[in-house]
Structure 1
Amino acid sequence: MESTIPPSPAPALETFGESRALSLGVELELQLVNTHDYDLAPYSDEMLRMLAKMPLPGSVVPEMTSSMIEVSTGVCHSCTDVLGQLTQLRDGLVRCADKLNIACVGGGTHPFQMWHEQRIYDRPRFRQLSELYGYLSKQFTIFGQHVHVGCPDADSALLMLHRMSRYIPHFIALSASSPFVQGQDTQFDSARLNSVFAFPMSGRAPYTLKWSEFEHFFAKTTRTGVVKSMKDFYWDIRPKPEYGTIEIRVFDTPLTVERAAALAGFVQSLGAWFLEEQPFVPQEDDYMVYTYNRFQACRFGLEAVYVEPATGEHLPLREHILRTMERIEPHARALGAAAAIDQLRQCADRGANDARWLRETQSRERLLAETVRQAAERFRGRGARG
């Protein structure tokens, strides 16, 4: 009689944890470049060893390839708190980088690195991903900002997630900082997200407003063996039950920590508007224009067209951003985020995201290495801020 091995049980979804509503956490993936030609430099191990000796908030960890490093704040309660922690982390990075004669840089892509030259960081998960995804893993040498926002409970998290989905184009356009790839102007403001879309579990979360239904979806998906945990979903926004948050993942890493903190303030102010005014109930039909709106924002940034999901109205994305900021302004003031919203309002009004700054710098200097050098100066706090 043949023996049979029972299949392994599918992993269970973690219980949705407790967090303070509208609390924040921010992650930034950053570039490490040499100061000779400003190409990427595989110095993450050296940086991590040095940073481990410094009393810094949050955490600093490696990323997929060895020219990347990720910093994360601890739990924050305002964008001012986010800025304070990111500034400490930034200053620690800069001090260590200076000792190694390298530099840290923001931006969603390195303008001229070649993906095939990158080294996968020696960690089991990264090796497994490299074996699974092949060259896509090295092409994932891209740099994003993730913003976590605390939710009162699991059902509220899903409601928050699907409400935030209407504002994905706003987040993309305001943070866009990846116009150049492998030495070429892609004509996209955010080319970074094209690399994310290549992964099979990218895109959007399934539409459900009840955690019990989401648990059912997760159980069905894990039974297929395609995914093992929430980490395997590369959605634009995903729940993070272990933290009691949702995580918004579409932002390019900005060129400055000031812009990164302002974007967190925008997210928090939107969240307060959702919780306190319940301005609309998301519908599955919202997603009929989701991919189009996301493409428009990636391609054209603040010059994109936005299709209002509820009405089908076509209008300039910049106009919708400014309307949204006007609506959430009372909540921003209450949260101490008014200055952050004003910074982003000026950015939207002038069409002045980081992609534009990179293009204008390259147009003036006509040398991408010099553009990266100036971006490194900008990241360390010299020159124009915001």
Structure 2
Amino acid sequence: MINRHDARLVDKADAVLADMENSQQIKHELTKSMIELNSSVHTSVLELHKELSFLARNVREVAWQHGCDVTGGGRHLDGDWREQVISDLQRHQNLAVRYGYITKMACVFGQHIHIGVQDGDEAIYLCHALIPYLPHLVALSASSPWLDGVDTSFSSSRFTGQNAFLNSELIENLYNWEEFTAFYNEMVDIGIIKSIKDIYWYVRPQPALGTIEIRICDMPLTIFHAAMLTGYSKILAQSLLANRVNIVKKHHAIEKYNIFNARRDGLQASYVSTLNNQRQPLASHMLHTVENLSLFTHNDEDNYVLQYIAKYVKKGANDSDRIRSMIKRAMDLNTVMERMRKMLLSAPKSYKK
């Protein structure tokens, strides 16, 4: 949430949410300068886009009455973590006591993608099977190139506000629901975690919802792009379930390297295949994946999503690149934030609503 006058982060979540009617889908987040939007369950990402756009417009309408607005992006360009105010929710207050300054530094903005699964074993399988494709989602969503008014040299710097929490990054060496349940119960008994929310893996199971939750994406500058990333993730998951891969028990050094590269260099990153240890451009791996997925899809919407992703990759510029381009054109950071604000509800001209 940003002030409409100077585009600075503003602690208006309490005031805005107090005036919202559909509070079940619009909620408090960790700090009072952010708000969480939750969609209902969808089988169509285009319908998902319509709903999230509707929710964002509602928030925007109320926010304007309080002198503020909402924007996308994985980080505010020059927001000061020291000025952040933790929300009054008891869980968030408990996190602040436990993690101290880390909690305020986690004032970053992400897109979480839920995909329905049939059972726990399917969830754990996907938590592993999706790992080689996480660099895709990092590079496609990256929108946090600046921190505290300084260029980080990263396409996505949001991870510095997330990976400091316990139980973060990749899933542990657990390969079925029975193993996960034993691990989970042990962690609860010891007192390391209290609930599934204390597990911050890039992909984690969400038993209460019957989903897996992909948590590695920055919040894109547009809701439309966020919907396309959801569609891409859905197609990937469906393909991996239809054509099961063997989950090999081994180290994750290469996967972590690939994720780091995607965060560092975005769509220009290099990628090392875990199948043959061969290096290639990440963009090439993404386009090859899209080509393979296109043989699997059977409806117009999925084809549209894959065509969109391929076109985006071929252009070679993600949201972080766009932000840097604006700054290089001598725009001050407030002006860039204002441009970002205006982009939130935009969609391609060719998109038929």
Normalised by the length of structure 1, the TM-score is 0.87
Superposed displacement of residue 252, structure 1: 0.1
Quick check: 2:45–2:228 contact (8 Å CA) kept in 1?
yes
Superposed displacement of residue 284, structure 1: 2.4
Partner in structure 1 of residue 342 of structure 2: 377
Q: Map of 1:97-136 to 2, 5 A cutoff?
A: 97-136=63-102
Q: Which amino acid aligns with 1:113?
A: G
Superposed displacement of residue 178, structure 1: 0.2
Superposed displacement of residue 333, structure 1: 4.2
Partner in structure 2 of residue 285 of structure 1: 250
Superposed displacement of residue 81, structure 1: 2.1
Which structure 1 residue ranges, 4+ long, deviate > 6 Å from structure 2? Answer: 382-386
Separation in structure 2 between the aligned mates of residue 191 and residue 385 of structure 1, nearest angstrom: 31
Q: Map of 1:221-232 to 2, 5 A cutoff?
A: 221-232=187-198
Partner in structure 2 of residue 204 of structure 1: 170
Quick check: 1:272–1:331 contact (8 Å CA) kept in 2?
no
Superposed displacement of residue 335, structure 1: 6.9
Partner in structure 2 of residue 3 of structure 1: none
Partner in structure 1 of residue 11 of structure 2: 42
SS in 1 for 2:40: coil
Partner in structure 1 of residue 232 of structure 2: 266
Partner in structure 2 of residue 236 of structure 1: 202
Residues 164 and 382 of structure 1: CA distance in aligned 2, closer, same or farther (over 3 Å): closer
Q: Which amino acid aligns with 1:226?
A: I
Q: Map of 1:159-170 to 2, 5 A cutoff?
A: 159-170=125-136
Quick check: 2:53–2:345 contact (8 Å CA) kept in 1?
no
| CA shift digits 1:195-233 (9 cap, x unpaired) | 211112211111322111111111222222111111101
SS in 2 for 1:239: strand
Separation in structure 2 between the aligned mates of residue 334 and residue 158 of structure 1, nearest angstrom: 27
Quick check: 2:31–2:85 contact (8 Å CA) kept in 1?
yes
Q: Which amino acid aligns with 1:255?
A: L
SS in 2 for 1:337: helix
RMSD: 1.8
Quick check: 1:116–1:138 contact (8 Å CA) kept in 2?
yes
Structure 2: segments with no counterpart, 5+ residues: none
| Range that drifts further, 184-193 or 154-163 | 154-163
Partner in structure 2 of residue 185 of structure 1: 151
Q: Map of 1:1-386 to 2, 5 A cutoff?
A: 32-52=1-21, 59-278=25-244, 280-285=245-250, 287-334=252-299, 336-381=301-346
Separation in structure 1 between the aligned mates of residue 223 and residue 307 of structure 2, nearest angstrom: 16
Structure 1: segments with no counterpart, 5+ residues: 1-31
Residues 385 and 373 of structure 1: CA distance in aligned 2, closer, same or farther (over 3 Å): farther
Separation in structure 1 between the aligned mates of residue 142 and residue 91 of structure 2, nearest angstrom: 28
